Structure 1
Amino acid sequence: MMTSGKDAGHGANPILKVDHVTKKFGELVAVNDLSFTVEKGQIFGIAGPNGAGKSTVYNLITGFYPFDGRIEFDGRTISGLQPHRIAQLGISRTFQIPQTFPSLTVEKSISVGNRFGAQGRFDPAYVEEIIRFLDMQAIRHQPTGQLNLLGKKKLMMGAALATRPKILMLDEPMAGSNANEIKDLMAFIRRINTDMGVTIIIIEHFMKVLTELTETLLIIETGGEICCGDPVAVTCDPRVIECYLGDAYAEGS
């Protein structure tokens, strides 16, 4: 099924609506009249060429830049809110390069996320729950700077989960990972979605990850939508092959 992002996702339970959003940096149009809707409980994918505006879209949703248009989260407009307020309302994100506090332990790092997201209401029992979910009980007192790349990525997701988000936004979580680590991360992301009930938005370049993991896939180029819909159908779209995947991918598929 192929739909437009302007029409996609208008189901019974939308949690995020991006409505005709445009962001310019001087004369550069980074995001161009972009609209899409994410349903509660789904895994929603975003892909496109380098420089397409994917991370800028994340920065707009999470309040880093002002923009034209409107973004609605969980029934309320969040356009113009500060990043910390949006996070406390229930949107958490990760970054392409894992961001941790190297001198803090795993436990302390999760605790920071919980204190921040809970608006000061620290819940040590929930911190324990996240540590168990990460399967990091044995290294809870280890400084995060000593973790390997996979460990840092999981910890970053865990710290985000400690804020009790309704949406977790992942920015290229597979980057730099080998095949086994990618398999591990995919299973972990599915567990976040199913076991914790968190809606997930994921930017990723590995199309196999997106076609296997997501329910809806949005492709953007120069800040605008190319197409949006069923992931397998999207990867077969001639426009996507031309602007992003290339003929070699189509032939291999």
Structure 2
Amino acid sequence: MIIDATIDTATPLLRVEGVTKRYGANTVLNDVSFDIGHSEVVGLLGDNGAGKSTLVKIMSGVVQMSSGSYTWEGQQHDTVNRALTEQLGVETIFQDSALVPQMSITRNLFMGREITNRLGLMKMKQMDAITSEILDTVVTIEGIKSSKQLVASLSGGQAQAVAIARAVHFKRSLLILDEPTSALAVRATEALLNYLRQLKSEGVSSVLVTHNLHHAYQVCDRHIVMNHGRKILDVRREDTSVEELTAAVVEGAVGVERFRTGAF
């Protein structure tokens, strides 16, 4: 059973339809469909094993779906890979930050997108200056003394914040965040949530994957709840509550029914 309260009359930024992912006999995503609108913040919620991370990887072009369709601004793409999603303007912060420990913060932030002169030499001073500004203004990170610090010298929370800084700097159309606040301090978490609001005002959409339903309800326009590889709820913030989202995450579609009938 799917309870769908989504109303979308405009062409969405991204539409995935019938997305299924199998690993051998194991089906981790089963016929999942939803839209992400322009300038919209969408919460992707669910307990461990719900299929959220696999769905994020498919939207990001890192993992290929077994079946289904991927349509960007009305144009369907038969082959979805990282080269395509990068071209479309999709940036993703994965749970594992994918940083190189023995390289500096600056080199990690600009990896594969280095600023170079006409001879192909990297403009390190310019990249260091940009990195320092991002770290100071976008994602507040305490304890980092220099953009030249090696990532290996950072704490887990600091490294996660660097990954966030990298993604938000290169964002263009869609920013996907997979559990971005799990290792962040309170101040850095608030800065990130505020930044998602700012991105929306700039016309950038976001997908926030989180176990913190209060954070999701605070910043997301719409909430999608996954359960055992299926979408069970797709509802706008004004039509739901933290309590209903909790019921959906904890008990699935049965929990939603129980909540709406006053039995939860």
Q: Fold-level match, TM-score > 0.5?
A: yes
Alignment of 1:1-253 (within 5 A): 4=4, 8=6, 10-63=8-61, 64-115=63-114, 128-129=129-130, 131-135=132-136, 139-194=146-201, 197-231=203-237, 233=240, 235-237=242-244, 240=248, 243=251
Q: Tell me, what secondary structure is at the counterpart of 1:135?
A: helix
Q: Which runs of 5+ in 1 are unaligned?
A: none
State the one-letter code of the partner of 1:176: A
**Could you say if the C-alpha distance between residues 53 and 159 of structure 1 is closer, same or farther in structure 2, counting changes exceeding 3 Å?**
same
User: Residues 206 and 242 (structure 1 numbering): CA distance in 2 closer, same or farther, change over 3 Å?
Assistant: closer
- Percent identity between matched residues is 21
CA contact (8 A) 1:107 1:127 kept: yes
Q: Say if 1:19 and 1:69, in contact at 8 Å, map to a contact too.
A: yes
Q: Report the 3-state secondary structure (helix = DSSP H, G, I; strand = E; otherwise coil) of the residue aligned with 1:200.
A: strand
Deviations 1:20-58 (A, max 9, x none): 211122222211111111111111110011101001111
The total of aligned residue pairs comes to 242
CA contact (8 A) 1:130 1:161 kept: no
Cα distance change of structure 1 residues 106 and 170 upon mapping to structure 2, 3 Å threshold:
same
Match of 1:17, SS state, is strand
Return the offset for 1:11: 3.5
1:41–1:134 CA distance, 2 compared to 1 (3 A):
farther
> In structure 1, what is the Cα distance between the partners aligned to 2:40 and 2:12?
10
Letter in 2 for 1:148: S
Shift of residue 192, structure 1, vs aligned partner: 4.1
Matched residue type, 2:164: M
Contact 1:71 1:77 in 2 (8 A): yes
| TM-score (norm. length: structure 2) | 0.77
| Cα separation, 2, equivalents of 1:41 and 1:16 | 12
Report the structure number with the largest CA radius of gyration: 2
Backbone CA RMSD of aligned residues: 3.4
Which stretches in structure 2 are left out of the alignment for 5+ residues? 138-143
CA contact (8 A) 2:110 2:127 kept: no
Paired with 2:235 and 2:127, the residues of 1 have a C-alpha distance of: 36
Q: What displacement does 1:138 show?
A: 5.6
CA contact under 8 A between 2:128 and 2:148: conserved in structure 1? no
